[in-house]
Amino acid sequence: MVMTMDSPGDTLSGVVNAWNDMMETENESLRDRVVDLEKKVLEQGDEIVCLRSTLADVLRRLNQFESRGAPSPAPTCLRNGNGTTIRGISHSNHIGTGKDSTPGNVPRLRQPAYHQQPVPTDAGPKDNLRRAASYAPSSLPQRRVVHYQSTGSLHSDSPSSTSVSPVPTSPSPTHTPPPPPGGRTTPSPRTPQPPSQRPNSVGSGSGSGSLHKRWSSTGDFNNSGITSPTGTLISASSMAIASRLATKSLFNLYMRPQPHQQHLLKHGTRDATYNEEEGSVRFFLRGRPVVLHAPTAVAENYDLMKVATAPQTRLKLEWVYGYRGRDCRSNLHLLPTGEMVYFVAAAVVLYNVEEQSQRHYLGHTDDVKCLAIHPNKLLVATGQTAGHDRREGRSWKFNPPPDRMAPEAEQWPHVRVWNSVSLHTMAVIGIGEFERSICCLSFSKADGGVLLCAVDEAPDHNISVWDWQRGEHGQKITETKCSADTVVAAEFHPMDRQSIVTCGKSHISFWTLDAGGTLYKRMGIFENRDKPKYVTCLAFTQTGDVVSGDSNGNIIVWGRGTNTISKFVRGLHEGSVFSICVLKEGSMVTGGGKDGRLVQLDASLSPTGQEARVPDHLGAVRAVAEGRGSQLLVGSTRNCILIGSLELGLTPVVLGHTDELWGLAIHPNLPQFLTAGHDRLVTLWDSMSHSVVWSKDIAEPVQSAAFSPDGSVLIIGCTSGHWMVMDAETREAFSAHTDGGEPIQVVKFSPDGNLLALGSRDNNIYVYQVSEEYRKYSRVGRCTPERRRRRSATYVMLLGHSSFITHLDWSMDSQYIQSNSGDYELLYWNAGLCRQIPQSSQLRDVEWASNSCTLSFNTIGIWPEGADGTDVNHCERSHDGNLMATADDFGKVKLYSYPVVQPKSLCHTYGGHSSHVTNVSFLHDDSRLISIGGRDTSVMQWSLS
């Protein structure tokens, strides 16, 4: 017997051939199974596809009808390869399927629908695998689908949007192309999405895969972009992504949705989170993450969801410094109680000079602009401007809410009538009726004050007359356009009930109110005399004649019941006549708005020779009122009030700032404080006597100020980057320095007095060595943004603030500084080295000498849930560490229990300021709190009880 053995090569070749035969058989079996499955899929999905196509066609026709007003062609039915009827497009919307098709022959359809192309009857099994064509056809030539098995996925060599959509049984994910910069995405058709089925991947020799297929196919819209329903052009880059998603590669089905280029920024403490391992709270301000580390003692038991209670201590408004005379008129009167009444910010002040006492009416929510006294001398009417949400204030007139007296409604311009003895509000008039603010008010006098006249600062300066006692909110009798030009005064005639006089830019008008409630106007006739640019003030003689002053310095008398001039006094003042006061004995006093003179005239308008003058540094005359005996009350254009007589002269009793206030410094040992602002005035106040210790004009707008630890030296930071060293008693300037060209936002001495830190708007903190009893300063360095390389040369870390400095605090040991910036950062610094400490968690247990940084762990709760990062302008901790006060952009002063570590911390809220409150601080003994307003120029002193 002869035995033969195959060589190893033959054996291996036989194994390989057998393996190939087995794999080919298996592949053929798989292909047959796939073809059978897809046939069943197409057969079962025909009906669903037809329904989807019909619905999409209806939506398309509806869209075309709404956009063009013309019906679209009726859809037709096409047949797929199995002979099943499918809803499709009409013959007019031809889709080119051959290689010779050109883009010009393909119409553009707005609304996608779903259909399948007709398949030749002699097509093979693979050719029967056709994908439903998009209703938005491609502008590129349509080509046959070619399948590749190399990657195991379904590819197409055509960029068209035609695709096979298997019968779905579960929801399929969809991809949304990113929006263009500044634009919005084009929404997909609102058609019901049927559930999708997971089909096997089709390809020779490929394994089966479970994939989700999206149904909302997109067309190829070229690189020129398309227009969304909002009219926004979608860029070509966005369309490139959309086109790529429309191809038939299964890779595209797994692509992650592109992020929107415009995100909704996370904001506020509502979604704050606490990391127990790190002991840190994380929240967002304008999309910027803020991470604050809790002190070790607090971190162990910290609960983010706790609600902190408000303190038992409360504030009471004790004194208001300032007066609004720079832009308001006729706002100073003497009451029978011996108090003079005037206003500043949102507070109406009743000040008894003899008793040195103040009372305050705080019913208003924003700037008070005008004031009128009732004939009984007991009631007062005051009108305010629109609140902080001025857009709602303007539109509410045409769309009033159901509850007219909702708390937010009082943010809109309105008039309040109140009792000057009890400070009780008698009526709130005109909510929803005024558009901007009330600039003029007057009670009727001949009938005992039944009517109230008001002028709105709307473009038409509407004048309205109210029966203010009827109903809770009064009843409007009439309203009409007063003048297209500015109106500065409106007064009821003291003897004629139906007569009203108004004046302003280039006009004086005489109004008559008839029995039917209609106002008739007659314009004043200036005849051949020079017509003034402004008629600035009004008064009435004892005989009922009207007296007016104008911008030419003239006094004109208008006969009672006429609109013609009966007497003319030329050039009584240099510049405007801002006020006329008719005295009880029949004489009158006029005040000049430029020359600052007070001139007395007798009943025949002849000068008596008695005059007085307001000092230049106190401004010109704004308002004149009769006081007790021969006294006069004079309000000035520099927000001061003077009392005196023409014979004995005038003495200031109220002083104030005239421009925006930012600087506030508390004396470390005495009950005194210093204020400074953009009016270039630095003023030292005594909180006990409510008087000015001294005031100095430093010739530069001031942004910040600070006392030295012993109170002997002042540091004044200016808006130009200059800062000066000044003696706190003599006002002598020791030295002047310059750091950068931006405002010095904040200045603070270290607790030991050896260092001075100045935070600038140029993003830097300047540190100085202090010597010679706080009179000499040498720069140590500056805490500035820098770049550091970490190990790898390609890794660069940017340190330091990238925005302006807003607040800073010293540690108790004078070693460290914490600082806030305009982009919501909290950074820590080694003061001696002027280097940042990046590991903020290392300083979590540092004790700070003050806490004026609004962004720190101990001040989390001062931020409302939806607050802007700029809403809280300043905060300050009391010296005993029990309280924290804040100043915000809504004219509010708030008082919290310290530390304020809970996002939901309750507080006491107090009004009085009208503009943004820029600074608050406790006196050295925590007996009082001082707050300063921004543009309302007011200084308010609050007692703690």
Lowest mean pLDDT among 6-20, 435-449, 499-513, 618-632: 6-20
265 — pLDDT class (breaks 50, 70, 90):
low
- Cβ atoms of 763 and 802 within 8 Å: the answer is yes
pTM, two decimals, is: 0.72
Residue 247 has pLDDT above 70, yes or no: no
Q: How many CA atoms lie within 13 A of 325 on its CB side?
A: 29
Q: What is the pLDDT of residues 628-649, one digit of tens each?
A: 988 999 999 999 999 999 999 9
Q: Distance between terminal CA atoms of the chain?
A: 124
- Looking at per-residue confidence, does 92 or 793 come out higher? 793
- Looking at residue 865, what is its pLDDT? 76
Lowest mean pLDDT among 113-117, 365-369, 715-719, 937-941: 113-117
- Looking at residue 700, what is its pLDDT? 95
- Summarize the chain as % helix, strand, coil (round to 5): 10, 35, 50
Sign of CA dihedral 676, 682, 688, 690: negative
- Residue by residue, DSSP assigns 85-125 as EEE---TTS----STT--GGGS---SS--EE-----TT--T
Mean pLDDT of 248-275: 54
Mean pLDDT of 765-773: 96
- Report the 10 Å Cβ neighbour count for 84: 17
Sign of CA dihedral 525, 529, 533, 539: negative
- Looking at per-residue confidence, does 930 or 89 come out higher? 930
- Looking at per-residue confidence, does 414 or 129 come out higher? 414
Is cis: bond before 899, omega within 30 of 0? yes
Residue 508 has pLDDT above 50, yes or no: yes
Closest CA to 707 of 745, 746, 749, 670: 749
Reported for 543-549, long-range contacts at CB under 8 A and 24+ positions apart, including other chains, are: 544/493, 544/494, 544/495, 544/496, 546/493, 546/501, 546/510, 547/580, 547/582, 547/588, 548/503, 548/508, 548/580, 549/573, 549/576, 549/577, 549/578, 549/579, 549/580, 549/590
508's tokens: 């004086």
540's tokens: 């009435």
DSSP letter at 690 equals T
Q: What is the pLDDT of residues 864-890, one digit of tens each?
A: 877 666 789 999 999 999 999 999 999
Is cis: bond before 103, omega within 30 of 0? no
Q: What is the pLDDT of residues 495-505, one digit of tens each?
A: 998 999 999 99
Q: What is the pLDDT of residues 220-230, one digit of tens each?
A: 333 334 333 33
Residue 21 has pLDDT above 60, yes or no: yes
176's tokens: 């949304």
Q: How many Å apart are CA 109 and CA 217, to the nearest integer?
A: 13
- Looking at residue 904, what is its pLDDT? 84
Lowest mean pLDDT among 247-251, 349-353, 585-589, 827-831: 247-251
Cα–Cα distances in angstroms (integers) from residue 113 to residues 51, 268, 793, 881, in the given order: 10, 44, 56, 70
Q: How many Å apart are CA 151 and CA 162, to the nearest integer?
A: 21
Residue 116: exposed, middle, or buried by beta-carbon count in 10 A (0-12, 13-18, 19+)? Answer: buried
Residue 297 has pLDDT above 60, yes or no: yes
Which residues share a beta bridge with 115?
A: 133
Residue 780 has pLDDT above 60, yes or no: yes
Q: What is the pLDDT of residues 647-665, one digit of tens each?
A: 999 999 999 999 999 999 9
Q: How many Å apart are CA 252 and CA 66, to the nearest integer?
A: 34
Residue 129 has pLDDT above 80, yes or no: no
DSSP letter at 585 equals T
CA Rg value for the chain: 40
856's tokens: 């720190």
Q: What is the pLDDT of residues 74-100, one digit of tens each?
A: 444 433 434 444 344 333 333 333 333
Q: What is the pLDDT of residues 806-848, one digit of tens each?
A: 999 999 999 999 999 998 899 999 999 999 998 889 999 999 9
Task: Determine what percent of the chain is predicted with pLDDT higher than 70.
Answer: 68
Residue 182 has pLDDT above 80, yes or no: no
527 — pLDDT class (breaks 50, 70, 90):
confident
Task: Determine what percent of the chain is predicted with pLDDT higher than 90.
Answer: 60
Q: How many Å apart are CA 240 and CA 244, to the nearest integer?
A: 6
Mean model confidence pLDDT for the chain: 78
66 — pLDDT class (breaks 50, 70, 90):
low
Q: How many Å apart are CA 202 and CA 126, to the nearest integer?
A: 10
- Cβ atoms of 235 and 225 within 8 Å: the answer is yes
Which residues share a beta bridge with 443?
A: 452
The distance between the two most distant Cα atoms of the chain, rounded to a whole number of Å, is 161
Which residues share a beta bridge with 641?
A: 635, 654
Lowest mean pLDDT among 195-199, 292-296, 314-318: 195-199
- Looking at residue 27, what is its pLDDT? 66
- Looking at residue 529, what is its pLDDT? 75
Q: What is the pLDDT of residues 674-709, one digit of tens each?
A: 999 999 999 999 999 999 999 999 999 999 999 999
List the Cα angle 798/802/806 in 5-degree steps: 135
